[in-house]
Structure 1
């Protein structure tokens, strides 16, 4: 004998049958909706105080305090495409206004992406090979946080990272037939009578444990040097081995770098020196050198009303110039970074020996140098509001 279903069961079945077409309709409507572009605009306003040992009148005044920079940062995305750009406004004495970085990217999948535009060169420890506001010696010879015009491919897996890139040239601002590259730029590039052309980069990073505590890397770079006077192209290369250690509160960065430049200069012009420039002013750099740098920092969580975190650090760099008679260069920065929400404050004591930004006449510290020069130091406080 068959049992009759209760009336409530018939009602439930009827509701399900009625709801299914509505569910399918809603799903169809959602699938028809087009994704909308997203755009975020941020930036920073920074001020700087410095007291330099090699400036007697500044010491008499007790240092100087003034405007550092105002910057605008734009990040946007549409489906798997995205944009990243940063424009900086400095005083005319520091190069004026220029694009620091700017690229269009495409996510091939969760591990791979490709970028085109003014990109960070995949060489050495990225984004910075240092912890302080001044960066480290590789930056001052175009080998840390460097940006050039080209195409970059990235793969980031659990144990390995691969990077490959081609850069047509540095930031080109004039597009003239034989015009020199401008020094009004953020990162150091070859300027003057020589220009960077057709550079290739490759980098491999090995992560022996999945938490990213250790990173061991190898970097290689090779490119041309076009001379405006001779219309001939020389070459250049750089190699680096680097290591990073990271925990929740300890950070270590170490790198050894070898670089050599072979410009095709006109007769009478030394091939032991090449001109590099940024922030509106060029200087000389030796064409054959090694750099060894090491940095360590300790992060302390404070979680007080106006201070969230404090990072104490020390970054050291040594530059050996493989040319007879050229004096060596050193750099050491001891300091602390205070994070207060959107406000970040770097307090640094930066000491230099044959360092263009830390004493001397600015022109030849990274080239011939002076073996009789003394160490100079700069006490620096940089306060920035980041939005």
Structure 2
């Protein structure tokens, strides 16, 4: 029997991901003396304050509001491991960010099963800032589903293949996904009641070529996804597909991410239902909304990390600009755009985002007054540039 020791892990580490710079959670960890077995418990608490220049509850700066409380649990036992995150959110909502077990078949291959990430393009976070961008609201960011992933990696390649027989329950989703009105009815509108499509038997693949250069790591990738699109009313199966290209390039302290994704939902709707729109939703934190059933979304994210010395816990400041653009297949539907400029302060166990987002025809910018943003843009604030100033404070434990 292995002896175990309990240690408290404190500090900061710089990792790849949403911003390539993250503070490691201060965590309570149990670890065997030989290091083969461990269990780590941690999490984060976040508070949020914002100003929005359209009519709504955030029309002026007010007090800090609760954002999330996340609990993270992960561990390993020889070649087996597990990783889970559960979120308590604003408005008394709950969601699962991930929850899976894995096994290392050898040094290059592993499999993961449970509520796993659906690998696609830039993931899990398709932007640097706290404010999610258009790819996330189309289902291409931090998106999980019950299923299984196979992963292969070496110094040159990163290959992922996954199968998901159904999508995660709408009341547990963190990331939006296509869903039936019946599943979203508590947070949907009667005008959406005819939309009854859900994905089944989805397959995802992501193939990445990695390069090590004298001035930084480079990544070039291609992604694909296909699924059945089952309609509960007609009991017929349509189809969904998406293809994507992405890059993740580093030059010293600069990071540049880019992606282009084309997607299509081809539903077998009843007569009289507009096939050009698809219903999306998550756990009820925001109302269900329509997106264009076919479109191309592009993103370009630039960041610069400035190390900081002799300023106490503050170790780095990351400056970033995230831009995303959605072109809809229908020529009479206006495009959607978002741009976020901001800074992230890394001072483990604290992390602060301060960003300014402006955009048009995007549901997140305009809310209920821009409810058609990702489709026909005929809401009161359609085709208007609106902005939001956001401050998010996080504490890791």
* TM-score, normalising length: structure 1: 0.84
Query: Is the Cα contact below 8 Å between 2:146 and 2:165 reproduced in 1?
Result: yes
2:374 to 366, 370, 374: 366
Q: Distance in 1 between matches of 2:272 and 2:212?
A: 54
Unaligned ranges ≥5, structure 1:
1-32, 173-181
Q: Distance in 2 between matches of 1:372 and 1:356?
A: 10
Q: Which residue of 2 aligns with 1:188?
A: 176
Query: Is the Cα contact below 8 Å between 2:362 and 2:374 reproduced in 1?
Result: yes
SS at match of 1:138: helix
CA RMSD of aligned residues (A): 2.0
Q: Distance in 2 between matches of 1:50 and 1:171?
A: 30
Q: Distance in 1 between matches of 2:132 and 2:58?
A: 23
Q: Which residue of 2 aligns with 1:199?
A: 202
Query: Is the Cα contact below 8 Å between 1:235 and 1:262 reproduced in 2?
Result: yes
Aligned residue-pair number: 343
Query: Is the Cα contact below 8 Å between 2:223 and 2:244 reproduced in 1?
Result: yes
Q: Which residue of 2 aligns with 1:378?
A: 388
Q: Distance in 2 between matches of 1:315 and 1:97?
A: 27
SS at match of 1:129: coil
Alpha-carbon shift at residue 183 of structure 1 (Å) = 5.2
Larger Rg: 1
Query: Is the Cα contact below 8 Å between 1:116 and 1:151 reproduced in 2?
Result: yes
Alpha-carbon shift at residue 34 of structure 1 (Å) = 11
Output aligned runs, 1:348-359, within 5 Å. Answer: 348-359=355-366
Change (3 A) 1:169 1:307: same
Richer in helix (by share): 1
Q: Which residue of 2 aligns with 1:4?
A: none
Unaligned ranges ≥5, structure 2:
1-32, 181-195
2:159 to 133, 157, 162: 162
Query: Is the Cα contact below 8 Å between 1:327 and 1:369 reproduced in 2?
Result: yes
Q: Which residue of 1 aligns with 2:217?
A: 213
Q: Which residue of 2 aligns with 1:152?
A: 149
Q: Distance in 2 between matches of 1:227 and 1:272?
A: 15
* TM-score, normalising length: structure 2: 0.82
1:125 to 122, 125, 135: 122
**1:136 is the counterpart of 2:142:** no
Change (3 A) 1:300 1:359: same
Task: Give per-residue Cα distances to partners, 1:336-382, cap 9 Å, x unaligned.
Answer: 00011111000010112011111152532111114952111100000
SS at match of 1:270: coil
SS at match of 2:136: helix
Alpha-carbon shift at residue 158 of structure 1 (Å) = 1.1
